[in-house]
Amino acid sequence: MSEPNIVLTRIDNRLVHGQVGVVWTSSIGANLLLVANDDTANDPLQQELMEATAESSGVGIRFWTIEKTINNIHRASARQKIFIIVRTPEDARKLIEGGVPIDNLNIGNMHFSEGKRQITKQAYMDDKDISDLKVCAAKGASVYVQEVPEDKKQPLEEVI
């Protein structure tokens, strides 16, 4: 089995929306969006909304559980330029610990919720989020905040 061509992995609570499905996808040259999230993999309504965004960008889209992603990512064709989108740092950590070769982990939108503090303009995290991100970095992923492609990358260690 060959290494899958994962061009970017992004944490975004909103998963696939205009910014991810259009701006990021075209900027990185992806031709397949892979939403790796257990809840979304089992939610046809969420999938339908995200499929419309992918279709408007002319790219394929898949909705897989974390486990299915771990078990199947290495079967990807070399011509697939895969953009993985996860909802949480925990999802990203599980993928990396499961052997998914994630080199670049982009932190996008992480909404405020109880117990989370503002880290950047668009990212709110609690101690578990930070711990999960540190594990990803320790396992070799370049972890950084970058809201849109034009923004400068802010390495994790500069924002936490």
The residue segments making up the domain with residue 85 are 6-151
Evaluate whether residue 160 is within a structural domain.
no
pLDDT at 2: 74
Evaluate whether residue 158 is within a structural domain.
no
Give residue 1's pLDDT band: very low, low, confident or very high (50, 70, 90).
low
Evaluate whether residue 159 is within a structural domain.
no
Nearest to 102 by CA among 69, 75, 77, 65: 69
pLDDT digits (tens, 9 = 90+) for 32-81: 999 999 999 999 999 999 999 999 899 999 999 999 999 999 999 999 99
Evaluate whether residue 157 is within a structural domain.
no
Write the CA distances from 46 to 7, 84, 135, integer angstroms. 24, 16, 29
Number of structural domains (the chain) is 1
CB 73 within 8 A of CB 9: no
**Is residue 120 pLDDT above 70, yes or no?**
yes
pLDDT digits (tens, 9 = 90+) for 84-113: 999 999 999 999 999 999 999 999 999 999
106 φ, ψ (degrees, to nearest 5): -95, 125
Catalytic residue numbers, as ranges: 17
Strand partners, 124: 118
Evaluate whether residue 122 is within a structural domain.
yes
Evaluate whether residue 90 is within a structural domain.
yes
Q: What is the CATH number of the domain that holds 138?
A: 3.40.35.10
Evaluate whether residue 51 is within a structural domain.
yes
What's the rounded mean pLDDT across residues 148-158?
A: 95
pLDDT at 32: 97
Nearest to 104 by CA among 10, 1, 5, 18: 10
**Is residue 142 pLDDT above 80, yes or no?**
yes
pLDDT at 33: 97
pLDDT at 18: 85
Evaluate whether residue 126 is within a structural domain.
yes
